[in-house]
């Protein structure tokens, strides 16, 4: 089918990956709700196996709705290829398993998504894969940690909840110099704000659950890179079976149509809210990469088009004050996750780190008065009005 190429970002978000002519003259991409695909006769089977398998065969190996979503994401990230998964964690774990062999060594920075760290540190160990965790931002130690058997280095930017920004150029140079793959979780940035491949990073991953789908209604993950790497990952993916289903792929395609608009709005609203919070008498500290006070402001401005839709802040007060603050929310939902149209607030100490002792949490910087605000696309005046209801209680 005649797939079209477009050069501009917002146009790609709407049209890339699909042909103008669709099944039954449908305008939107149909949901192909099928577990398998039929062959007319033996000749068609033979043509399929000879023809480099240029059609669909069985549901776990791919679905037309899913393929279109992969092509659209590849266009937005300007990657040669993309592989989609049922969740962000499925994307990370499948990719890592496709890359490593027992006896390998991997490096990950300490500010990564909690479940990613857990997988690398605890589960991979069982298979004889050694994992070094390096403090975020320590590029010298990162380079010094590379060994003969280092297979890849994994990092994230910006990170959760402090919005630390990693120097992608420096990162890719270290990887290239030592011939080690670099792998970045770019979920918080999205291709609106940063495209790691442009900095020479080898593999980029997104929890598409967040900004790409954007409506807090599905789970999905994506990994992007060159054809060779993605085909390695796709091959294991077919055995692991963590495929995104056709309905989810459709919702992702639909979400992507407004993705550039949403993220631009979220960039703008979040900067405004970060400034409001910074000026607030009941706020101790604000973290947002596009605030001059952020330690990585310079690098954020240099490598990102916008600061993204998440800001974290510490209120003046203890755990009790924090509970009273969050209980004041009437519009803003109290929930983990980010990147959707609804504004969400989370209290990391009570949610993501509930199973840590206070001492362990504080060592990681997860203090009692810390909140993460994942800004949606409501009018900022209403978000501020809600936060004020919380502030009035402390």
Ligand X SMILES: *Cc1c(COP(=O)(O)O)cnc(C)c1O
Q: What mask of x and - would describe binding to ligand X in positions 112 to 151, judged by CB under 6 A?
A: -x--------------------------------------
Burial 55-69 (b: 16+ CB within 10 A, else e): ebeebeebbbbbbbb
Closer by beta carbon to ligand X, 107 or else 146: 107
CB of 244 to ligand X, least distance (A): 11
What SS3 string covers 140-182? HHHHHCCCCCEEEEEEECCCCCCCCCCCHHHHHHHHHHCCCEE
- Our finding on whether 56 is near ligand X (CB under 6 A) is no
Closer by beta carbon to ligand X, 88 or else 340: 88
Residue with tokens 């008498």: 281
- Our finding on whether 219 is near ligand X (CB under 6 A) is yes
In whole angstroms, give the CA distance from residue 214 to residue 211. Answer: 4
Number of residues that bind ligand X (CB under 6 A): 14
Decide if 211 is catalytic. no
Q: What mask of x and - would describe binding to ligand X in positions 75 to 114, judged by CB under 6 A?
A: ------------xxx-----------------------x-
In whole angstroms, give the CA distance from residue 218 to residue 214. Answer: 9
Closer by beta carbon to ligand X, 209 or else 303: 209
Counting Cβ atoms within 10 Å, is residue 38 exposed (0-12), middle (13-18) or buried (19+)?
A: exposed
Decide if 232 is catalytic. no
Closer by beta carbon to ligand X, 209 or else 229: 209
In whole angstroms, give the CA distance from residue 387 to residue 315. Answer: 11
Question: Per the residue annotation, which of 111, 113, 162, 202 is the catalytic one?
Answer: 113
CA 286 from centroid of its chain's CA atoms: 22
Given 63, 132, 172, 207, the residue binding ligand X (CB under 6 A): 207
Decide if 177 is catalytic. no
Cβ atoms of 128 and 154 within 8 Å: the answer is: no
Closer by beta carbon to ligand X, 89 or else 98: 89
Decide if 210 is catalytic. yes
In whole angstroms, give the CA distance from residue 311 to residue 290. Answer: 10
- Our finding on whether 212 is near ligand X (CB under 6 A) is no
- DSSP output for 17-78: T-BSS-GGG-SSPP----SB---SSHHHHHHHHHTTT-S--BGGG--HHHHHHHHHHHHHHT
CB of 94 to ligand X, least distance (A): 11
Cβ atoms of 214 and 262 within 8 Å: the answer is: yes
CB of 302 to ligand X, least distance (A): 21
Question: Per the residue annotation, which of 37, 48, 60, 316 is the catalytic one?
Answer: 60
Closer by beta carbon to ligand X, 93 or else 390: 93
Q: What mask of x and - would describe binding to ligand X in positions 182 to 201, judged by CB under 6 A?
A: ---x-xx-------------
Question: Per the residue annotation, which of 185, 202, 368, 386 is the catalytic one?
Answer: 185
Catalytic residues: 60, 113, 185, 210
Give residues in contact with ligand X (CB under 6 A). Answer: 87-89, 113, 156, 160, 185, 187-188, 207, 209-210, 219, 221
């Amino acid at each position: 089918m005649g797939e079209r190429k477009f050069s501009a970002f917002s146009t790609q978000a709407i049209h890339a990956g699909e042909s103008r002519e669709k099944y039954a003259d449908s305008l939107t991409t149909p949901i192909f709700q099928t577990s398998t695909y039929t062959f007319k006769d033996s000749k068609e089977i033979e043509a399929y196996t000879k023809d480099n398998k240029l059609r669909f065969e069985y549901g776990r190996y791919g679905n037309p709705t899913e393929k279109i979503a992969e092509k659209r994401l590849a266009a937005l990230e300007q990657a040669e290829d993309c592989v989609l998964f049922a969740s962000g964690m499925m994307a990370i774990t499948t990719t890592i398993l496709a890359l490593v062999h027992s006896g390998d060594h991997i490096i990950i920075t300490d500010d990564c998504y909690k479940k990613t760290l857990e997988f690398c540190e605890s589960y991979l160990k069982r298979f004889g894969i050694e994992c070094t965790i390096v403090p975020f931002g320590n590029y010298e130690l990162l380079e010094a940690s590379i060994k003969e058997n280092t297979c890849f280095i994994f990092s994230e930017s910006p990170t959760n909840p402090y919005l630390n920004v990693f120097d992608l150029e420096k990162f890719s140079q270290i990887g290239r110099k030592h011939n080690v793959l670099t792998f970045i979780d770019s979920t918080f940035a999205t291709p609106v704000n940063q495209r790691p491949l442009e900095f020479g990073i080898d593999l980029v991953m997104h929890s598409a659950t967040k900004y790409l789908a954007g409506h807090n209604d599905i789970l999905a993950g994506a990994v992007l890179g060159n054809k060779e790497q993605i085909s390695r990952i796709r091959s294991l993916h077919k055995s692991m079976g963590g495929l995104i289903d056709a309905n989810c792929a459709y919702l992702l395609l639909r979400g992507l149509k407004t993705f550039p608009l949403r993220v631009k709005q979220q960039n703008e609203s979040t900067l405004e809210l970060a400034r409001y919070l910074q000026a607030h008498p009941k706020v101790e500290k604000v973290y947002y990469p596009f605030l001059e006070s952020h330690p990585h402001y310079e690098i954020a401005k240099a490598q990102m088009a916008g600061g993204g839709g998440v800001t974290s802040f510490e209120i003046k007060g203890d755990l009790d004050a924090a509970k009273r603050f969050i209980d004041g929310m009437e519009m803003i939902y109290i929930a983990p996750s980010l990147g959707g149209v609804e504004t969400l607030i989370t209290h990391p100490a009570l949610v993501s780190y509930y199973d840590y002792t206070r001492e362990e949490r504080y060592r990681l910087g997860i203090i009692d008065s810390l909140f993460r605000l994942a800004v949606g696309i409501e009018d900022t005046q209403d978000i501020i009005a809600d936060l004020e209801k919380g502030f009035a209680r402390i």
